[in-house]
Structure 1
């Protein structure tokens, strides 16, 4: 059975995947001792919302994820990573 996505679904999915890739990229900069745990946390967050079909909630989660990534990125910058 093939899934049929409308344009809005397709664009939201693309934004989610982009966020996931960005998160993993930033996680690579984390200190060795916390990198694996951070990657697991990122994956767990994505998996926990995998079956969400509420477009408004998905948009909120994307925005929240972007803000959280900005904070993580800034924190890693301050630590020199």
Structure 2
């Protein structure tokens, strides 16, 4: 196939950590492999892990958790998902604001590393979520 398409490839800017994009002309179906010396992966399998761009330290971060931190992280994510499920029952006019409030609360405490404080925040979040759920039940939503 002689058809060429324009593909964007992210390259890391060493100091600032920002991505820059270069346009390349590649045959249809060819993926980029940053690990390959040529930078081009197999045409048949553009979705394999080797064809993805490197993500930096973020991909390694999850692997370095100890067991207790991993369990706490799972509990936080479970609380967040439960909260988003409860907001689906809220009235349409307040659903967006409620979802944004939940996200803001999670983001506010994102960098907390104190396990005792995280446990406290999880229990407080569960209580607040239970109160919201009961309030929506009483209102008939």
Q: Same fold (TM over 0.5)?
A: yes
1:18 pairs with 2:70: no
Query: Hey, what does 1:32 align to over in structure 2?
Result: 92
Query: Hey, what does 1:58 align to over in structure 2?
Result: 118
The structure richer in helix per residue is 1
TM-score by length of 1: 0.98
**Relative contact order (alpha carbons < 8 A, sep ≥ 6): 1 or 2 greater?**
1
Unaligned runs of 5+ in 1: none
Q: Secondary structure, in 3 states, of the residue corresponding to 1:51? A: coil
Task: Point out 4+ residue stretches in structure 1 off by more than 2 angstroms.
Answer: none
1:79 pairs with 2:139: yes
Unaligned runs of 5+ in 2: 1-56
Q: Secondary structure, in 3 states, of the residue corresponding to 1:78? A: helix
Query: Hey, what does 1:70 align to over in structure 2?
Result: 130
TM-score by length of 2: 0.57
Q: Deviations over 1:12-38 (max 9, x none)?
A: 000000000000000010000000000
Matched pairs, number? 81
* Post-superposition offset of 1:63: 0.1
RMSD: 0.5
